[in-house]
Chain A
Amino acid sequence: MSTEAAIDIDREKGNFSYDTDYEYDAGVGLSKDTVNYITDVKGEDDWVRAFRLKALEIFNSKPLPTHWATKDLENIDFDKFRYYLSKGQQPSRTWDDVPDDIKATFERLGIPEQERAFLAGVEAQFDSEAAYSRMKDELSKEGVIFVGSTEGLKDHPEIFRKYFGKVIPTGDNKFSALNSAVFSGGSFIYIPPGVKVKQPLQAYFRINAENFGQFERTLIIADEGAEVTYMEGCTAPKFETTTLHSAVVELVALKGAKIQYITVQNWSSNVFNLVTKRGLAEEDAEIKWIDCNIGSRLTMKYPGVILKGRGARGEVLSIALAGDGQHQDTGAKMIHAADDTTSNIIAKSISVGEGRSTYRGQVHIPKHLKGCRNNTECDALLINTNSRTDTYPAITVRGDDNSVQHEASVSKVNAEQIFYLMQRGLNEGEAMSLAVNGFINDLVKQFPMEYSVELKRLIDMEMEGSVG
């Protein structure tokens, strides 16, 4: 009897970092001074300062959610992080303005120059501030606003202030409060009525300073009948000590609007990735989260949709890959708040070696509603004998003619499939990679092309040469 060896994920691949000198540095630790410092450096209005200070109070007053979440959270030492770093430069409009060392970092990230030209708008965040930001002329002409959070609040308060912090209130959870206190970077996007942005808007995030937490804040508003797809990909170099990433992403889809938000998260395996993402869908609007988590030490992320208008639709497609030392605690929330709203959740997870993947879900249909539907499917694949998976959905249904179905299954890779593939001359790693890709294939197909290619490549990388 042979036992399968653990599949090792080689985290050294892609490890690189550059020495950079930070012009602004809020120092280590979190206090009122830190918050005031950030606000001063950014030259923010008083209401933003008040918002941040209030958030800091809430953050300090809230306990860690360890009564249901993993105790690993207790290993986060909030006093050891730098909460703000900046090169001090304004978001640049042309590629030539971007400093050379930052360009070099992006080069290593593998964002080819040609691809950038293709993208409708590239916002590459280097540490806290947007290092590079450019949009195609035609989008500007159509009235699309695509700026950093600082710029958004400063230059377009009439648009962004109304929804800022409304979908995810500061006190939603400890980490949304933290983000609200120290946020910097992220994207603020407004799509005017009826404008359908054909190509995805894209932003790359990257952490590049030891012990530096990144707290980007993103708010996307699609006005009536507008459509937009936003893609976010993350990689980070490896550091000696843990790094904290705690973003807040708010989406607002007004009547008949469609927003698709795609994430490929591949932080290095020492990052705590504690993210709050939620969308608000008005009448006949549609919000779709496509969420793929491959990296980080601990990810806690449950993208949600508040289905506020009649006929609104919410969807979460989630893929998680947990390797040794990783815990992917992901899921979805669907809060039905109007008649005839529908939601769909499909979550697939793969646990490799001692990896642990967890699905947490919430579906809520209150009393006064009718005609609401939810479908939830969670499938988990366990590769090794010491792999682990958990599923914790919570479903509440009242009202008239509402229906909910939830299904979850756990399985392992079929030994016969592997045997068959090896008979055809593949080695075990390649066979495993094929089987795993097959498991998530129906979800990956829904990703935009370049992402599904990237994802397949990532899975191959994780599996290759790792069995036997």
Chain B
Amino acid sequence: MQSMVTVNSETEFLSEAVFEHFLSRNAGLPSWLVKQKEKSWVDYLALPAPSRSMESWRFANVTGLGVEGFRLAPTLEPSETHSLLEASKRIESNSGELVFGNDDLIHEEALSAELSEKGVIFEPLSRAFAKHSEILEEFFMAQESALGSEKFTALHTALNRNGTLLFVPENVEIELPFVSFHWAKGEESAVFPHTLVIAKDNSKVTFVDVYGSDDKDLAQLACGVSTLYAGPGANVEYHYVQNWNESSLSFNRLTTITQRDANIRAFGINIGSKHARSEGHTIIDGAGSNAELFSMTVAHDSQEMDQRTLQSHNAPNSRSNLLFKNALQDESKTIFSGLIKVAEEAQQTDAYQTNRNLLLNPSAEANSLPGLEILANDVKCSHGATTGQIDEEQLFYLLARGVSKPTAQKLLVFGFFEEILKQIKHEELADYHRQLVQQKFGNA
């Protein structure tokens, strides 16, 4: 691999001095944002690093979570972006697309004039911080972290400089998805992708985040935050693909807030990173809302996929349903820690949580921590967690039909994920997700 970056300054590294350097590199940010960043940087330095004794990091391998060895990702030369643009041609039937390389916008397919006239905003944050400062001041990083990654969220707030703002006004329904690609390139590059979706009353929208690396083996750091606001009666579908290279360390936080009668469907694919920590907090703030949360994880080699979720039911008559499926190969490790919290006033809640782990190798390790905290009595809540192997009878059946063992195993694993894939209505997206999951087995 060519080395495309020269270290121009020690201050690029994520040490104490980097923040001043970051501010000098990003002049012209609104003053509220600078203030927020300054506070976050102080918080970041003060907050303790994860340790095993913290309940929110239970089972996680907390050594190797240090970020000091990474540095602010350098700006890419136009010649360096070709491969990224090529790799971004995946979801062609879309309503708009932004491609980021090392947190800079490198390609944009703006939304149609028609949507623009209706008041839809689809902009990179680098522009939106100035152009839509009033929206961002209200919504940008307005949600607290609840699942253990406070330190990394603070780091994100301090050093983020780009990402996507999607604002959909009342009663606007958009069929085709909006897409953001976030690429990291170069050794030790640290990126801070961000997504903010605000769907107003009775609107409808689909958004896709794809995270990936251009380099196969260069260690990178990704520290991302996505937040979805589903207003009264809004329909929001969200997809994320975590496919950083397998030398990378990644943190991702997804927070979803639903108001009255809102519908949320979220699909996650976790296949990349050496160590991936993802936190999903679904906050049911409005009565009658419905959240469906799906995740597919395929881990191999010595990958560690650490997923923590929280379904907070603060309003009555709502429903949430979580299904996280993990397939583990080689020496990989997964952690699923999920909690359903039902507040005292959230009567008539239906909340479910299911974690299924498929161990494809005796050395793989699946950890499940499915939790419930229920303070209301008129509820239907359940969780289930199973861990097991490929069903011997099903395998036998396929072998008896002349299918080779590796093929039969693959087919059964694909079948394992089909339960989630078939829920995706958008055909190109479903195919893309299916392909990503299946590719991982091709390479194994």
Contacts and interface: CB of A to CB of B under 8 A. Distances in A.
Given A406-B370, A409-B382, A396 B59 contact: yes
B377 A393 contact: no
B105 interface: no
B367 interface: yes
B363 A389 contact: no
B387 A393 contact: no
A392 interface: yes
Interface string B58-74: 11000000000000000
A367 interface: yes
A406 B384 contact: yes
A391 interface: yes
A325 to B, nearest CB: 16
B385 A405 contact: yes
Interface string A392-423: 11111111111111111111100000000000
B363 A393 contact: no
B55 A394 contact: no
Contact of B372 (A367, A400, A410): A410
A393 B385 CA distance: 10
B362 A406 contact: no
A388 B374 contact: yes
A397 B387 contact: yes
Contact of B378 (A398, A400, A406, A412): A412
A378 to B, nearest CB: 8
Nearest to A389: B374
A154 interface: no
B363 A367 contact: yes
Contacts of A389: 372-374
A406 B388 CA distance: 12
Interface string B184-227: 00000000000000000000000000000000000000000000
Given A393-B385, A406-B385, A410-B382, A399 B362 contact: yes
B55 A367 contact: no
Nearest to B53: A67
A403 B386 contact: yes
B287 to A, nearest CB: 16
A401 B387 CA distance: 10
B377 A395 contact: no
Contact of A410 (B368, B370, B381): B381
A398 B359 contact: yes
Contacts of A391: 370-373, 383
Given A392-B369, A396-B366, A407 B344 contact: no
B411 to A, nearest CB: 20
Interface residues of B, number: 37
A389 B381 CA distance: 11
B420 interface: no
A399 B54 CA distance: 27
A393 to B, nearest CB: 6
A412 B373 contact: no
Interface stretch (A145-153, A164-172, A202-210, A379-387): A379-387
Nearest to A356: B375
Contact of B55 (A67, A396, A409): A67
Interface in B334-390: 344, 347, 357, 359, 362-389
Given A68-B55, A385-B376, A393 B344 contact: no
Contacts of A399: 359, 362
Interface string B104-119: 0000000000000000
A255 B363 CA distance: 29
A456 interface: no
B377 A385 contact: yes
B251 to A, nearest CB: 22
A196 interface: no
A403 B389 contact: yes
Contacts of A403: 386-389
Given A370-B362, A403-B389, A393 B384 contact: no
A401 B392 CA distance: 10
A279 to B, nearest CB: 24
Contact of A401 (B378, B381, B382, B389): B389
Contacts of B364: 398
A395 B367 contact: yes
Nearest to A373: B388
A403 B362 CA distance: 12
Contacts of B389: 400-403
A1 B368 CA distance: 41
Question: Which one of B368, B377, B385 has the highest number of Cβ atoms from chain A below 10 Å of its Cβ?
Answer: B377
A362 to B, nearest CB: 10
Given A68-B55, A382-B374, A409-B381, A404 B386 contact: yes
Nearest to A409: B382
Contact of A390 (B357, B359, B362, B372): B372
Interface string B76-110: 00000000000000000000000000000000000
Contacts of B377: 382-387, 412
A377 to B, nearest CB: 10
Nearest to A400: B362
Contacts of A398: 359, 362-366
Nearest to B375: A388
B319 to A, nearest CB: 14
Contacts of A68: 55
Contacts of A392: 369, 371
Nearest to A386: B344
B27 to A, nearest CB: 43
Contacts of A387: 375, 377
Contacts of B373: 388-391
A461 B379 CA distance: 26
Contact of A396 (B367, B375, B386): B367
Contacts of B53: 67
B367 A385 contact: no
A408 B383 contact: yes
B384 A367 contact: no
Contacts of A390: 371-374
B49 to A, nearest CB: 16
A405 B357 CA distance: 10
Contacts of A412: 377-379
A336 B412 CA distance: 28
Nearest to B347: A385
B77 to A, nearest CB: 46
A397 B371 contact: no
Nearest to A364: B367
Interface string B10-51: 000000000000000000000000000000000000000000
Contacts of B367: 394-397
Contacts of B362: 367, 370, 398-400
B385 A395 contact: yes
A397 B54 contact: no
A392 B53 CA distance: 16
Contacts of B378: 385, 412
B384 A395 contact: no
A367 B374 CA distance: 34
A402 B388 CA distance: 6
A404 B376 contact: no
Given A67-B53, A393-B371, A367 B388 contact: no
A405 B384 contact: yes
Contacts of A383: 377
18 contacts: A67-B55, A382-B377, A383-B377, A384-B377, A386-B375, A390-B371, A390-B374, A394-B367, A394-B368, A395-B367, A396-B365, A399-B359, A403-B388, A404-B388, A405-B387, A405-B388, A409-B382, A410-B379
Would you list the 8 A-B pairs with minimal beta carbon distance, nearest first?
A382-B377, A403-B388, A400-B362, A391-B372, A397-B387, A409-B382, A395-B368, A410-B381
Interface of A: 67-68, 367, 370, 380, 382-412
Given A388-B373, A393-B368, A395-B387, 20 more contacts: A384-B377, A385-B376, A385-B378, A390-B373, A391-B373, A394-B58, A394-B59, A394-B368, A397-B365, A397-B366, A398-B362, A398-B363, A398-B365, A399-B359, A399-B362, A404-B386, A405-B384, A409-B380, A411-B380, A412-B377
